[in-house]
Amino acid sequence: MDNITSMHELKNAIQLLEVEQAEKLQQLKEQSLLSIEVIKPMNLFKNAVKDIVKSPRLLDNMLDTGVGLATGLITKRIFTGASANIIRKLLGTVLQLGITEAAKKNSDFIKSFSRFAFHKIFIKNGLKSKNRG
């Protein structure tokens, strides 16, 4: 009788292990599907964009760089104009690089000044045109 009892216990233990194995296999399959979903290129891109949007400092750095580049390009364009002179173009490029760096470091001032100028030019002019009409 002892043999029969231990056989039943062994069968029960085996069945429990088989159920546990099936559950772990199902969990592994689900986790694999999730992992595949995460590493799809479009999802990687979406997550990267979300991280950029959620990171205000990174967004500020990108904006500062954009302000610097735009300021540098405008300065070079004003300095060189349509000149074909190679020295003037070279000096324009050097000036552009210097202005770009300075603008990146002082982008808060440039952004504030731009807002102020925009307000003075467009908002004030808008009020004047309303008062005339």
Q: What are phi and psi of 106, to 5 degrees?
A: -115, 30
Q: Look up tokens 């202005």; give the residue.
A: 99
Q: pLDDT, tens digit, for every residue of 48-82?
A: 878 767 777 776 777 777 777 787 788 878 877 77
Question: What is the pLDDT at residue 70?
Answer: 81
Averaged over 75-92, what is the pLDDT? 81
Query: CB neighbours of 100 closer than 8 A, spacing ≥ 6?
Result: 68, 69, 71, 72
Torsion angle of alpha carbons 56, 60, 61, 62, nearest 10°?
A: 100
pLDDT at 126 over 60: no
Residue type, 93: T
What residue spans define the domains of the chain? 1-39, 56-132
